[in-house]
Chain A
Amino acid sequence: MPSQANTTGRQATAAPFAIELKGISKAFGPVQANKDISIAVPRGTIHGIIGENGAGKSTLMSILYGFYRADSGQILINGTPTAIPDSQSAIRAGIGMVFQHFKLVQNFTVLENVVLGAEEGALLAGSLSKARRVLADLSREYELDVDPDALIEDLSVGHQQRVEILKALYRQADILILDEPTGVLTPAEADHLFRILSGLRDQGKTVILITHKLREIMEATDHVSVMRRGTMVGTVKTSETSPEELAELMVGRKVLLEVDKGAANPGKTVLSVQDLRVRDEHGVERLKGVSFDIRAGEILGIAGVAGNGQSELLEALGGIATATGRVAMNGSDLPLSGPAANGQTRREAGIAHVPEDRQHLGLIMDFEAWENVAFGYHNAPEYQKNALLMDNDALRADTAAKMERFDVRPPIPTLAAKSFSGGNQQKIVVAREIERNPDLLLIGQPTRGVDIGAIEFIHKQIVALRDAGKAILLVSVELDEIMSLSDRIAVMFDGKIMGFRDPETTNERELGLLMAGVSEGAA
């Protein structure tokens, strides 16, 4: 049954819609990415599109931006049927797109990036000076401050995103589409972005916000459309819905947004860290002497804005980075530098590591799932056929079993890692590490880029491991995740631990201050 867009704004059909999609369908081979999608976006609103990874949000927006052509259906821009065969037509129709992965030239200035493709004539001088004037006006109007002469590679991610927005506005976009814009931003940068977006709306622009984060939808949008498996499940007014309802629409079943966990029952100390320090390749100290213990059956959550030493902490404990200080695992010291400080000896000591960046450190994207499941544990006796050969059949069978237990979809061990969605990639890594029954699990950003159904699953696995009496070090930039999973919270700022808090008694404001480097004395 084709689903109909259930626009609550139907009574207001007199108001012109900035965008209307009617019966859009798109298939890639046998996969129906979009099935008869209809949606109407009123002018001057922020419209959220939410759905799990693979629900077809990005395909739909790519059709709107001329990257793909729909197999059937119609696009109306401001009430006029418009064909969008390529990006140039989309730009002409007043559509601007801010991609999840920015499309900026790293060693160009902001100005050069803005004029690229929208130059005035064959020579650059005129285009650049015009862009400089326009940019100055736009920055004033929309809180979009960026130095026009800065190189992109010197800008923070948040500023790079502003350049993308400026690019669209410079091309006189009336409709701005943002694909997962906050995935790379700090909470403060995300708040700033939402202020910019509401400024744009107040000036009559139409904004489409694609995300899988419920909180952003609730905070920033006027209407929200929910997609599930290529279909449009419904469109509702944001003020008339709740995160729970949206989650249920997205996943198609009730979802627990709160982590269901009982009281911790900590045992003996598993990991003891004293005065751990890490320098980066430039000799700058990134981790400036941190000390803590983790006990069996306990989750220690490390909160902090990205880049305050959390990554270095994980890498030092995981045997990837060289460190100084003292780390004892189950009472015996671990080597922190030299050839003995590596992932292999860490695994032998009972430490499993789910790295922050699964695509670079956790998986080899071109390798198949079963090969990825073997990494690090490829010398395990059950994977050997004889002294010389590995038992690939056993490995594939083992992978299939792990996929079954961790609900990896599709459960095909011979599929390349890159062919899985972000959430399923993460489940493969988590399955590999947890199934070895480690005494200590290091887990970084467990749910970054992971959809809501998989988040619930991964959280359950972490809690189950704790309840089995294991120690867990959780690093996450998502404060919600830290607050709901941790038994104890340590807040890091500038390479140091600002303090420990009990999640039962602390709150976001207190943690936020610590994350900003304001210690209790000053607060």
Chain B
Amino acid sequence: MDYATLLQILDSTLRLGTPLLFACLAGLFSERAGIFDIGLEGKMLMAAMCSGAVAFLTGSVWLGLLAGIAGSMVFAALHGVASITFRGNQLISGVALNFLASGVTVLVAQRLFGQGGRTPPLAGDARFNEITLPLTEALRPVPILGPLYADVISGHALLVYVAILCVPLTWWVLYRTRFGLRLRAVGENPAAVDTAGVSVKGLRFAAVAITGLLCGLAGAYMATALQAGFGREMTAGRGYIALAALIFAKWRPWQALGACMLFGFFQALALRPDVVTAVVQVKIPVPFLDALPYILTVLVLAGFVGKAIPPRAGGEPYVKER
């Protein structure tokens, strides 16, 4: 495998890792606050459909992005009401929302566009276009680093850079701000937060809202940047992969970046069976390569990554006791 091919694969890794990263950080906020969210998938799907449809109808990717975030946040709010206000089972609420999203997105897209549950292809300002970072051509002649900068780091949609910036931002919010301290506390021991005179419900709703926002970005990126439009079930289990990455990362932001890029790398490999065959000298069936990210997910969830301790109050509705 030559350097250019490696750069192509790394470029795809970043591209494919981005929706995972948004979703993973979304899950991080929610689960760190003690709300398990298996509904990342559904929220991404809602956001993808909303953003794809609105971007097509208005011709503006920005309005599409806002619509995607709004769609995702409505689902986040439903999950919040079910699991925080009514203290329902968080897994059941998440699964139900995933089913709802799966059906409702296709239904709406079919009613609007009549193309079998897809939105029409997006083009021009209805999509996030690739950004060429400054100095790309000037630096290209620099050996090794020049092509890396030009072909991997430069040339992505804006949301890719936003996703990367969200990692230090998440770290800073979690560990350097009052909100972050309280958020982590409410996921570990809500009674401690409550007796300190801080609202458990308020904190958890804030966390769920952030989850909605980030899932909105993930879904909008899928429909308006990674691909040109919404297609049915286009998230293809990325919400679950993001959850696996979150466990792999043990609920920490920098590790989440690494985990998501690892999953992104496997997805990128599946796109280049020729390269895989050249490297391992054995012809590997394409379906197997396609399945790799999911196999890795199963391995992570089966606990092959060592002991991952989730936030202690995760999944438990908070009931005030004496």
A residues 99-144 in Cβ contact with B at 8 Å: 99, 103-108, 112-113, 115-119, 121-125, 127
A98 CB, min distance to chain B CBs, angstroms: 10
**Contact digits for B188-225, partner A, Cβ 8 Å, 1 yes 0 no:** 11011111111000000000000000000000000000
**Contact at A87–B322, with CB atoms within 8 Å?**
no
**Contact at A113–B194, with CB atoms within 8 Å?**
no
**Contact at A116–B193, with CB atoms within 8 Å?**
yes
**Contact at A113–B322, with CB atoms within 8 Å?**
no
A residues 57-81 in Cβ contact with B at 8 Å: 58-59, 62, 65, 67-68
The residue from A59, A99, A125 contacting B195, defined by CB atoms under 8 A apart: A99
**Contact at A124–B177, with CB atoms within 8 Å?**
yes
A155 CB, min distance to chain B CBs, angstroms: 15
A505 to B320, CA, bound (A): 50
**Contact at B181–A124, with CB atoms within 8 Å?**
yes
B13 CB, min distance to chain A CBs, angstroms: 32
- The answer, yes or no, to whether A337 is at the interface (CB within 8 Å) is no
**Contact at A112–B188, with CB atoms within 8 Å?**
no
Which residues of chain B have C-beta atoms less than 8 A from A104's C-beta? 189, 192
B residues 298-322 in Cβ contact with A at 8 Å: 312, 320, 322
Q: Contact size class for B?
A: 20 to 34
Once A106-B188, A108-B185 are accepted as A-B contacts, the answer to whether A59 and B322 lie under 8 Å apart by CB is: yes
**Contact at A127–B312, with CB atoms within 8 Å?**
no
The residue from A58, A107, A125 contacting B322, defined by CB atoms under 8 A apart: A58
- The answer, yes or no, to whether A86 is at the interface (CB within 8 Å) is yes
Which residues of chain A have C-beta atoms less than 8 A from B171's C-beta? none
**Contact at B191–A116, with CB atoms within 8 Å?**
no
B152 CB, min distance to chain A CBs, angstroms: 35
- The answer, yes or no, to whether B99 is at the interface (CB within 8 Å) is no
Which residues of chain B have C-beta atoms less than 8 A from A99's C-beta? 195
Once A58-B322, A105-B185, A116-B185 are accepted as A-B contacts, the answer to whether A123 and B178 lie under 8 Å apart by CB is: yes
**Contact at B312–A124, with CB atoms within 8 Å?**
no
The residue from B176, B197, B320 contacting A88, defined by CB atoms under 8 A apart: B197
- The answer, yes or no, to whether B254 is at the interface (CB within 8 Å) is no
- The answer, yes or no, to whether A207 is at the interface (CB within 8 Å) is no
Once A91-B197, A127-B178 are accepted as A-B contacts, the answer to whether A105 and B322 lie under 8 Å apart by CB is: no
A90 to B194, CA, bound (A): 12
**Across the two chains, which residue of chain B brings its CB closest to A115?**
B181
**Contact at B194–A105, with CB atoms within 8 Å?**
no
Which residues of chain B have C-beta atoms less than 8 A from A65's C-beta? 195
- The answer, yes or no, to whether B182 is at the interface (CB within 8 Å) is yes
Which residues of chain A have C-beta atoms less than 8 A from B196's C-beta? 87, 91, 103, 116-118, 167
**Contact at B197–A117, with CB atoms within 8 Å?**
yes
A99 to B195, CA, bound (A): 10
B residues 150-203 in Cβ contact with A at 8 Å: 175-182, 184-185, 188-189, 191-198
**Across the two chains, which residue of chain B brings its CB closest to A62?**
B322
**Contact at A123–B177, with CB atoms within 8 Å?**
yes
A119 to B198, CA, bound (A): 11
Which residues of chain B have C-beta atoms less than 8 A from A167's C-beta? 196
**Contact at A108–B188, with CB atoms within 8 Å?**
yes
Which residues of chain B have C-beta atoms less than 8 A from A122's C-beta? 177-179
- The answer, yes or no, to whether A21 is at the interface (CB within 8 Å) is no
**Contact at B176–A116, with CB atoms within 8 Å?**
no
Which residues of chain B have C-beta atoms less than 8 A from A121's C-beta? 178
- The answer, yes or no, to whether A395 is at the interface (CB within 8 Å) is no
Max chain A Cβ within 10 angstroms of own Cβ: one of B175, B177, B181, B184: B181
The residue from A67, A113, A124 contacting B178, defined by CB atoms under 8 A apart: A124
**Contact at A103–B197, with CB atoms within 8 Å?**
no
Which residues of chain B have C-beta atoms less than 8 A from A123's C-beta? 176-178
Max chain A Cβ within 10 angstroms of own Cβ: one of B175, B176, B189, B312: B189
Which residues of chain A have C-beta atoms less than 8 A from B198's C-beta? 116-117
Which residues of chain B have C-beta atoms less than 8 A from A117's C-beta? 182, 193, 196-198
**Contact at A113–B192, with CB atoms within 8 Å?**
yes
Once A58-B322, A87-B196 are accepted as A-B contacts, the answer to whether A106 and B189 lie under 8 Å apart by CB is: yes
Once A59-B322, A108-B185, A116-B185 are accepted as A-B contacts, the answer to whether A87 and B194 lie under 8 Å apart by CB is: yes
**Contact at A119–B181, with CB atoms within 8 Å?**
yes
Which residues of chain B have C-beta atoms less than 8 A from A87's C-beta? 194-197
Which residues of chain A have C-beta atoms less than 8 A from B193's C-beta? 116-117
- The answer, yes or no, to whether A97 is at the interface (CB within 8 Å) is yes
Which residues of chain A have C-beta atoms less than 8 A from B189's C-beta? 103-106
Residues of B within 8 A of A (CB): 175-182, 184-185, 188-189, 191-198, 312, 320, 322
16 cross-chain CB contacts under 8 A: A59-B322, A87-B195, A88-B197, A97-B195, A103-B191, A103-B195, A104-B192, A108-B185, A108-B188, A116-B185, A116-B193, A117-B198, A119-B181, A121-B178, A122-B177, A123-B178
Q: A58-B322, A116-B198 are in contact. List 16 more A-B contacts (CB 8 A).
A: A59-B322, A86-B197, A87-B195, A88-B197, A91-B196, A103-B196, A104-B189, A116-B193, A116-B196, A117-B196, A118-B196, A121-B178, A122-B179, A123-B176, A123-B178, A127-B178
Give the 8 A-B CB pairs with smallest separation, nearest first: A117-B196, A88-B197, A103-B192, A119-B178, A87-B197, A103-B195, A105-B188, A117-B198
Residues of A within 8 A of B (CB): 58-59, 62, 65, 67-68, 86-88, 90-91, 97, 99, 103-108, 112-113, 115-119, 121-125, 127, 167
